[in-house]
Structures are given as C-alpha cells and as structure tokens.
C-alpha cells in the first residue's frame, strides 16, 4: 500500500515526463541538502547542461530531504545521483561528479579523451 506522499510524488513524476519536449535532454539530479558535495554536483551538472548541451532540454534538481517521496520512487540510495532520462536509455551516475568525462562519453558529446571544465 502506497502512502499519500509516495502517490503524490509518483503523480508529479509522471506529469513531468508527459510535459518533456521531444528530441531534447531531460536530466534529474538528486542531492542531499546544502552540503559542499551537493553544491559541487549542482554546479558541475549545470555547467555540463549550459556549455555542452546548450541548454537544450530540462534539468531538475531534487533535494531528497525536501522531497523524500521522489527519492523513494526513483530508488535513490546514494547522493548525488544524476539520472539521464531522455534520450533513452535511462542512465544513472552515482557519487562524485567532479570528473564528468564519463558523462560526456555517455551522452555521445565526445567519443574518448579528457575534458577539463
């Protein structure tokens, strides 16, 4: 039996998926509070989003302390967690986002090599 909060979080998640523009990126970053690690993750992902993706799509930052229902629905067990939901397939990056070369490779922005941001 789902709780009311979990049901609302699921409905909000489905609504955001329905409103997603086709042909663009949809990234969801889960963080835990206003820690230094969370701030670093947000800055790195925003930089990736603005510089390499040219702002194409949507970036959603979710604090699991403020929205624990969304963390439960998305099965978040560690933070920071970046979920790339669109384009398919869904990919997850868990832990430090200090070195985001892997993100560029996964998003097919580069084929190999290192990128310094």
Q: pLDDT tens across 80-103, in order?
A: 999 988 888 888 888 877 766 666
Q: Would residue 115 count as lying in a domain?
A: no
Residue 8's domain comprises: 4-106
Q: Would residue 27 count as lying in a domain?
A: yes
Q: Would residue 81 count as lying in a domain?
A: yes
- For residue 20, the model assigns a pLDDT of 46
State what percent of residues in the chain have pLDDT above 70. 64
With a CB cutoff of 8 Å and minimum separation 6, the contacts of 8 are 69
Q: Would residue 116 count as lying in a domain?
A: no
Element (H, E) at 43: helix 36-47
- For residue 73, the model assigns a pLDDT of 94
More confident call, 49 vs 39: 39
Total domains present in the chain: 1
* Domain harbouring 12, CATH code: 3.40.30.10
Convert the pLDDT of each residue in 99-113 to its tens digit. 666 666 666 655 544
Q: Would residue 114 count as lying in a domain?
A: no
Q: What is the Cα–Cα distance from 111 to 10, expressed in whole angstroms?
A: 35
Whether this prediction's pTM lies above 0.95 is answered by no
Q: What is the Cα–Cα distance from 42 to 112, expressed in whole angstroms?
A: 24
């Amino acid at each position: 039996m789902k709780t009311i909060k979990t049901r609302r979080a699921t409905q909000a998640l489905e609504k955001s998926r329905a409103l997603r523009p086709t042909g663009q990126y949809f990234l969801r970053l889960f963080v835990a509070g206003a820690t230094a690690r969370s701030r670093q993750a947000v800055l790195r992902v925003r930089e990736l989003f603005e510089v390499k993706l040219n702002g194409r799509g949507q970036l959603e930052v979710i604090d699991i302390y403020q929205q624990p229902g969304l963390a439960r629905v998305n099965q978040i067990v560690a933070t920071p967690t970046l979920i790339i939901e669109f384009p398919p397939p869904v990919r997850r990056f868990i832990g430090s986002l200090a070195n985001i070369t892997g993100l560029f490779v996964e998003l097919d922005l580069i084929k190999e090599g290192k990128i310094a941001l």
